[in-house]
Chains A and B, each alone.
Chain A
Amino acid sequence: GEDVEQSLFLSVREGDSSVINCTYTDSSSTYLYWYKQEPGAGLQLLTYIFSNMDMKQDQRLTVLLNKKDKHLSLRIADTQTGDSAIYFCAELRSQGNLIFGKGTKLSVKP
């Protein structure tokens, strides 16, 4: 289909790891992104991965890419209450526009 798919909700306890999954649609997409959106705010770029990579690590964030299955995941280690937000994955289409998932709302319980 045309949609980038994400589960809508994820709840974790503070200190645990969070894993947010995403399935994208276009195998020719060159870059895949993770954005964070807090209430009333714009989109904060967290990280992105080039499609010829299968993993990228940036401090507490680990991105895994399975290009064969068109599956992307974001792992947040040692999740904190400040990580509570909506997380969007997006693929960059060859035409130059981003296609977003509907977002995963992450709730972190103390």
Chain B
Amino acid sequence: KAGVTQTPRYLIKTRGQQVTLSCSPISGHRSVSWYQQTPGQGLQFLFEYFSETQRNKGNFPGRFSGRQFSNSRSEMNVSTLELGDSALYLCASSLGAGIAGDQYFGPGTRLLVL
């Protein structure tokens, strides 16, 4: 069974641009969550999607948004990039809302904002 995949793996953008990251969960998993990892703040929850609906959202500005498609693949978008958005963005895949247990992470997308 293939693991969680994230594309692209690395990205360099400049301030003010926008970026879209993609996550494909493990086959059969319907929940995708996104996390931001920085040296200063550690791992912080962005949002969770289940069956194309945002179920939960972390404490991030509205520049951060996401969506989920009918095949459970998810994208997150960051508009008007700031230097502080440089981070490793990780997505996690699980069976579904209310069915916790395994939460598998992808390898991440490393975003550098110049």
Contact = CB atoms under 8 A, between A and B. Distances in A.
A102 B58 contact: no
B97 to A, nearest CB: 6
B105 A95 contact: no
A92 B99 CA distance: 11
B21 to A, nearest CB: 13
Q: Is the interface of A mostly helix, strand, loop or mixed?
A: strand
Interface residues of B, number: 24
B111 to A, nearest CB: 14
Q: Is the interface of B mostly helix, strand, loop or mixed?
A: strand
B100 A31 contact: yes
Given A98-B92, A100-B43, A45 B103 contact: yes
Interface residues of A, number: 22
Contact of A35 (B31, B45, B58, B105): B105
Interface string A22-64: 0000000011010100000111110010000000000000000
Interface string B44-80: 0100100000011010000000000000000000000
Interface of A: 30-31, 33, 35, 41-45, 48, 88, 90, 92, 95-103
